[in-house]
Structure 1
Amino acid sequence: MLISAINTVEVDAAPRRVGEVCTKLPHIVRALLSGTECVGYAITDNRGAKNSWIVSGYWESESQVRAHFDHPELAGFMDMLSAGMASRINFNSFIINPVEDQRRAN
């Protein structure tokens, strides 16, 4: 199985809200794992910033990661921001092998 796309979400906890973020992130990841076609999801400490995490998703195709952006559980990240739990959230996606979707279509 080849990984063709990766998405990341960087989450910085707001002051005095680290515990809440640590509780919420695994909940979001479990929901995303059960409700999407991702190969896997991981939460890692962001070594470049204190009280910051990187949530990464791995996908077999670009079309799968694009469809994933419609998943309702992704709103959980924005909920953390609007509730004041997170001070910053940064979404990224990376396409590693764009021809994989073309191979699947043929």
Structure 2
Amino acid sequence: PRHDVESLLLKHIERLNTSAGCLSYAMSRSTKSTARWIVSGYWSNEGQMTDHFCTAAMTEFIDELIDAEANIAFARFAANIDITA
């Protein structure tokens, strides 16, 4: 994998945080592997979350991760989560 994955993630997460209905988009490095990043997204409702995955911004994000030879795995995305607690 290329070594610019971190900067790529930062660039896109900053933009994705402004998406309609996005409560939070964040990333953290895995404690098990320095080459693994965890990206979390939280949405105000399921419809906005689903719409987000169909945007040009998300397609560009995934395409750039593939081009960077990033190891991508989607584990969980959640809507209607209270993140204020």
**TM-score, with normalisation over the residues of structure 2?**
0.75
Unaligned runs of 5+ in 2: 81-85
Q: Offset at 1:35? A: 2.9
Percent identity reads: 28
Residues 96, 57 of structure 1: alpha-carbon distance in 2 compared, 3 angstrom cutoff: closer
- How many residues in Structure 1 have an aligned counterpart in Structure 2? 79
RMSD of the alignment, in Å?
Answer: 2.0
| Residue matched to 2:20 | 36
Higher relative strand content: 1
Q: What stretches of structure 1 move > 6 A for 4+ residues in a row?
A: none
Q: C-alpha distance in 2, partners of 1:58/1:79?
A: 22
Residues 94, 33 of structure 1: alpha-carbon distance in 2 compared, 3 angstrom cutoff: closer
Q: Does 1:74 align with 2:58?
A: yes
**TM-score, with normalisation over the residues of structure 1?**
0.62
Unaligned runs of 5+ in 1: 1-13, 98-106
Residue identity matched to 1:50:
T
Bigger relative contact order, structure 1 or 2 (CA pairs below 8 A, ≥6 apart): 1
Q: C-alpha distance in 1, partners of 2:32/2:49?
A: 26
